[in-house]
């Protein structure tokens, strides 16, 4: 059992994972602001902030993928038979419940779609590192890339709204607090989680 667990606290998120979460949150909000505020009429020089923030998000997500594949328990985030069998009736779950796993999957698809298309779109602008080359794709090809980027970005509006709503709900505060300070109380752990499915002393 970890020292945190032994002391009446159960560690949920390590510092490095919390830093990743908040870097991603700030990046996504900055990307959304620089993408949508100009469309809504707020005129400012948004492009440079947007692509630089996009690169920060790309590095952060690459780090998260490597960490989750090789240093964490990936299956904590994969829907399993118990999630499905107890659909809607789970009172004590693993580290993440079915809704959280499906939400993570949806955000992963959207963010990877935004990053992949965004990296391709970098060929459309001059930066200190490269000159623009708009002939990589045909006009139709660029239209597909831009459409993917636009739809992923707009769908992230929905996902961010849902995420903030759940983070603010009083019955989810134990999760929200743990994303700030890294731990939850032993009572919160016992009330909400099944130790057989999430052994808090384990990594990930």
Residues in touch with another protein (CB under 8 A): 36, 39, 91, 139-140, 142-144, 146-147, 149-151, 154-155, 157-162, 165, 169, 171, 191-192
Q: How far is the CB of 165 from another protein (least distance, A)?
A: 5
Inter-residue contact 99 to 109 (CB < 8 Å): no
- DSSP letter assigned to residue 13: S
Sign of CA dihedral 189, 26, 56, 121: positive
Residue 61 or residue 110: which is nearer to another protein going by CB? 110
User: What is the smallest separation between the CB atom of 123 and another protein, expressed in angstroms?
Assistant: 15
Residue in the structure block whose two tokens are 């809607």: 88
Shortest separation between residue 72's beta carbon and another protein, angstroms: 26
- DSSP E strand boundaries for 1-125: 9-11
Instruction: Please give the angle made by the CA atoms of 4, 63 and 17, to the nearest 5 degrees.
Output: 20
Q: How far is the CB of 158 from another protein (least distance, A)?
A: 4
Q: Which of 107, 103, 108 is nearest to 83 (CA)?
A: 103
Nearer to another protein, 60 or 200 (CB): 200
Residue whose CB is less far from another protein, 59 or 144: 144
User: 126 is written with which tokens?
Assistant: 């001059």
User: Of 45 and 171, which has the nearer Cβ to another protein?
Assistant: 171
């Amino acid at each position: 059992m970890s020292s945190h667990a032994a002391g009446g606290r159960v560690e949920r998120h390590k510092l490095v994972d919390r830093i990743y979460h908040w870097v991603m949150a700030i990046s996504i909000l900055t990307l959304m602001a620089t993408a949508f505020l100009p469309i809504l009429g707020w005129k400012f020089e948004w492009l440079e902030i947007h692509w630089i923030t996009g690169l920060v998000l790309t590095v952060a997500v690459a780090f998260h993928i490597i960490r989750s594949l090789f240093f964490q328990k990936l299956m904590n985030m994969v829907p399993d038979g118990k999630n499905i069998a107890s659909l809607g009736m789970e009172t004590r779950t693993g580290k993440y419940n079915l809704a959280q796993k499906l939400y993570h999957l949806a955000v992963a698809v959207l963010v990877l779609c935004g990053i992949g298309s965004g990296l391709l779109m970098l060929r459309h602008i001059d930066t200190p590192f490269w000159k623009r080359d708009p002939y990589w794709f045909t006009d139709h090809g660029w239209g597909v890339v831009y459409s993917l980027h636009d739809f992923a970005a707009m769908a992230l509006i929905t996902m961010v709204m849902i995420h903030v709503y759940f983070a603010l709900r009083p019955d989810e505060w134990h999760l929200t607090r743990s994303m700030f300070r890294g731990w939850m109380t032993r009572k919160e752990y016992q009330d909400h989680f099944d130790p057989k499915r999430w052994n808090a002393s384990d990594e990930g």
